[in-house]
Amino acid sequence: MELKRVVVTGLGAISPLGNTLPETWEGLINGKSGAGPVTQFDASKFKTQFACEVKGFDPLQIMDRKEARKCDRYTLLAITAASEAVTDSALDIEKENLDRIGVIFAAGIGGIKTFEEEVRGYDPERGPRFNPFFIPKMISNIAAGQISIKYGFRGPNFATVSACASSTNAISDAFNYIRLGKANVIVTGGAEAAITIAGVGGFNAINAMSTRNDDPERASRPFSASRDGFVMGEGAACLILEELEHALARGAKIYGEIVGTGLSADAYHLTASHPEGLGAKLVMKNALEDAGMKPEDIGYINVHGTSTVVGDISEVKAIKEVFGEQAYNLNISSTKSMTGHLLGAAGAIEAIVCTLAVKEGIIPPTINHEEGDDDPEIDYSLNFTFNKAQKKDINAALSNTFGFGGHNASMIVKKYVK
């Protein structure tokens, strides 16, 4: 069976850097931080009192108040990003075979805000009085369902949940469904909105997050010796993946071509990466093999790079082993230094970064690295694209995402050539 080629024909995002993809991309290439004090609840008693929040978000711009009340924040963000991507793709919904358009959309946590509010509102004296939309708002698959309902897309429809690898898993599944001929178009990506009492408190309990409360904008500092944990972000990102011939037949613009994905497991620890990066090595090798590419074909890696002590070191070790001498010719950057860690949505926004880096020939930076703030366990001969974007013509880019539980996922996008 000849596999179909899969291209990207639409993009959308809402992030801590902006409520549209153009605003987000401008923030990324200008090295802007999305971090600031938490505004969604009183965090004054928490070890971490800041995050990368989406700012000025008004869901009533895309739906009426009655419909918005049926959605958790993560779903509202998902619909916003998907709406931008579908519009950007110029799909003619009236003419398309909607049986052949699917939605595979991820969330690592899902509707935690709804769950938290409903459980905290329970009064044992009064008895249970839960909102009838409690379960439909909370579940992790509902964003995929809501997007399909909005447009009438009746193709493959589900969510992927693999912690911070979730939306790269979604993209991988969408890629495979299309290249196997099971769909013409799939709306894919991820959304997360876990900046809540339980979300922040839970990650604080395992000492995973930065506590640099006096300097939030500089707290996410991947590959710097003074890093002390990740900065939580929220948002959503969406890619329209399409079978090449279908895209050409309708005259679609093409951002790039998805050519391979990889999956692996660390099989090591609940929350920590393998210290030697065994799972990270395997997932990158798997992605390269799936794409039929060699290490020297890759010009940029958007790393997982969360700004955790162990994770950053193990990922660098993995890159050096997989890429060998080519590792020193690569640009590497962690855009989490600007967006924060979007958890289940991280892979989607970083896949968009890779797609635009290939298309536009510019690599967003890893911000917040200071001269002399060097970790002896990290090889600074590598090009981490510190502090300033770099113009570079690249043929292909790889994105890494690694999740609690040892879940690893990578994807490769390259320039589209007929």
Residue with tokens 């992605």: 287
| Interatomic CA distance for residues 303 and 283, integer angstroms | 12
Q: Clarify whether 52 is annotated catalytic.
A: no
- Candidates 251, 241, 255, 239; CA nearest to 177 is 241
| Catalytically annotated residue among 304, 354, 369, 407 | 304
> Looking at the chain, how many residues does it have?
418
If phi > 0 it is left, if psi is from -120 to 50 it is alpha, else beta; for residue 307 that is: left
| Catalytically annotated residue among 71, 164, 238, 354 | 164
The maximal CA–CA distance of the chain, rounded, in angstroms, is: 68
State the DSSP string of 101-163.
Answer: EEEEEE-SS-SHHHHHHHHHT-BTTTB----TTHHHHHSTTHHHHHHHHHHT--S-EE---BT
Cα-based torsion angle of the residue sequence 72, 77, 80, 83 in order, rounded to the nearest 10 degrees: -90
| Catalytically annotated residue among 52, 71, 238, 341 | 341
Eight-class DSSP state of 30: T
Q: Clarify whether 274 is annotated catalytic.
A: no
Q: Clarify whether 304 is annotated catalytic.
A: yes
Amino acid at the residue 163 = A
Eight-class DSSP state of 56: S
Active centre residues (catalytic): 164, 304, 341
